């Protein structure tokens, strides 16, 4: 019986290989953050090509037109801050930090945002990740200038701070 033959293009008889640059691995923290609630519901491939990203915002020079646009933009609201913080989840519980009651206070002063938040315990292994995510999501809000995420331990967090609907879902 004859062996099946394969057509090859290389002289050593091996199948041709495609040389392509390996795609860089990206962690979940390196992805582009949506700039509005409507963009949050769309996959990145469906967002408009002219959408402003953190990279394009950092690369764009500030001109008098962009300064005027920021001055004419609607003032930053606490609701915009809350919307951004709802995207920050505790990776162990997969619940957002507002529903968990981890955010104690939100202060908006012009384009500066400051929040006081806590963690479920002082030894929370996800603490740095949660705080970094909170800062990244706040910085992604259009028009935000200074961002301050303050870790506080008073009052100490307890399950009583969880939103009632989430608490009943968890069985508390």
Query: Which of 149, 139, 170 has its CA nearest to residue 58?
Result: 139
Question: Which residues are CB-neighbours of 15 under 8 A, at least 6 positions away?
Answer: 6, 8
pLDDT in tens, 118-148: 999 999 999 999 999 999 999 999 999 999 9
* Alpha-helix runs per DSSP H in 15-53: 37-40
What is the dihedral angle through the alpha carbons of 51, 54, 59, 61, rounded to the nearest 10 degrees?
80
Q: Which CATH architecture has domain 76-172?
A: 2-Layer Sandwich (3.30)
Confidence band for 172, pLDDT divided at 50, 70 and 90: confident
Residue 74 has what pLDDT? 79
Domain ranges of the chain: 76-172
Give the separation between CA 64 and CA 42, rounded to whole angstroms. Answer: 32
């Amino acid at each position: 019986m004859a062996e099946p033959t394969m057509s090859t293009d290389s002289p050593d008889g091996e199948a041709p290989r495609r040389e392509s640059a390996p795609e860089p691995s990206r962690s979940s923290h390196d992805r582009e953050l949506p700039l509005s609630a409507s963009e949050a519901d769309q996959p990145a491939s469906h967002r408009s090509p002219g959408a402003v990203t953190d990279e394009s915002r950092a690369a764009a020079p500030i001109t008098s037109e962009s300064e005027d646009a920021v001055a004419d933009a609607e003032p930053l609201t606490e609701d915009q801050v809350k919307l951004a913080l709802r995207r920050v989840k505790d990776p162990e519980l997969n619940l957002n930090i507002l529903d968990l009651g981890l955010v104690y206070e939100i202060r908006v002063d012009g384009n500066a945002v400051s929040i006081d938040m806590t963690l479920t315990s002082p030894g929370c292994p996800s603490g740095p990740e949660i705080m970094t995510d909170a800062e990244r999501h706040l910085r992604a809000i259009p028009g935000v200038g200074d961002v301050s995420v303050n870790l506080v331990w008073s009052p100490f967090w307890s399950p009583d701070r969880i939103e009632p609907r989430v608490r009943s879902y968890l069985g508390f």
